[in-house]
Amino acid sequence: MSTVSTEAMEFGRLTIAFDDRVLRPRPWTAAQSDWAAEILAAGPAGRVLELCSGAGQIGLLAIADNDRELVCVDLDPVACDYARRNAAAAGVAERVEIREGRIDEMVRDRERFAVVIADPPWVRRTETGRYPEDPLLAIDGGDDGMDIAWDCIDTARLHLMPAGSLLLQIGTVEQVDAVRERLRGDDLAVTEVRWHERGVLVRIDRL
């Protein structure tokens, strides 16, 4: 019988609980929280939607120092349990709703959000074996790594309010190029890209 032991780590000023059934929080991704908080400070009023939220740390840190409400969506029930627990530990549980399910099924038609944070699996299926410690559901992005990222962009297109922003995490130059190409002529546009050692953050604004 396997045993599960809960760990905790600092993520920005939050303490995040997780275990090895979910993706281990990656410290660099606090940059996604910080950028989202920056956008929220200047952007329209309204709620934040986090897609592929895992244990919730990126979205929770983004709203920790403001009064925004956050809706987190993840398919993995274990990740959702940790997100609930981490929201409570951060003292923001009353502003956070956790929805367990597929991102394309968990947002109601009429809902609109000021900012969408998305952290989909973005590893190419043929390369997932390089990361044996990571749960497959958390990293397998399909043939080109973009299967779930496209779902995130489609969900943002439907549910971002005017002047709202999607902050998307992906992994490679090719993936950034594919996003630019897909959004050519769209009412969503890439407005800034920030490169990090282990991933890339793409800001996509509703024009």
Binding region for ligand SAM (CB under 6 A): 23, 25, 29, 52-55, 58, 73-76, 79, 102-103, 119-121, 137-138, 148
Query: What are the beta bridge partners of residue 98?
Result: 72
C-beta of 132: minimal distance to ligand SAM in Å? Answer: 15
How many angstroms separate the CA atoms of 196 and 206, rounded?
24
C-beta of 163: minimal distance to ligand SAM in Å? Answer: 25
Residue 130 or residue 163: which is nearer to ligand SAM going by CB?
A: 130
C-beta of 49: minimal distance to ligand SAM in Å? Answer: 12
Q: Which residues contact 154 (CB under 8 A, 6 or more apart)?
A: 104
Judge whether 183 and 176 are in contact, CB under 8 Å.
no
Residue nearest to ligand SAM (CB): 54
C-beta of 137: minimal distance to ligand SAM in Å? Answer: 5
Helix/strand/coil for 195? strand
Q: What is the CA radius of gyration of the chain?
A: 16
Residue 101 or residue 162: which is nearer to ligand SAM going by CB?
A: 101
Residue 111 or residue 189: which is nearer to ligand SAM going by CB?
A: 111
Q: Which residues contact 42 (CB under 8 A, 6 or more apart)?
A: none
Nearest in space to 198 (alpha carbons), one of 131, 151, 132, 129? 131
C-beta of 152: minimal distance to ligand SAM in Å? Answer: 9
Residue 42 or residue 143: which is nearer to ligand SAM going by CB?
A: 143
Structure tokens belonging to residue 55:
């244990």
Residue 100 or residue 189: which is nearer to ligand SAM going by CB?
A: 100
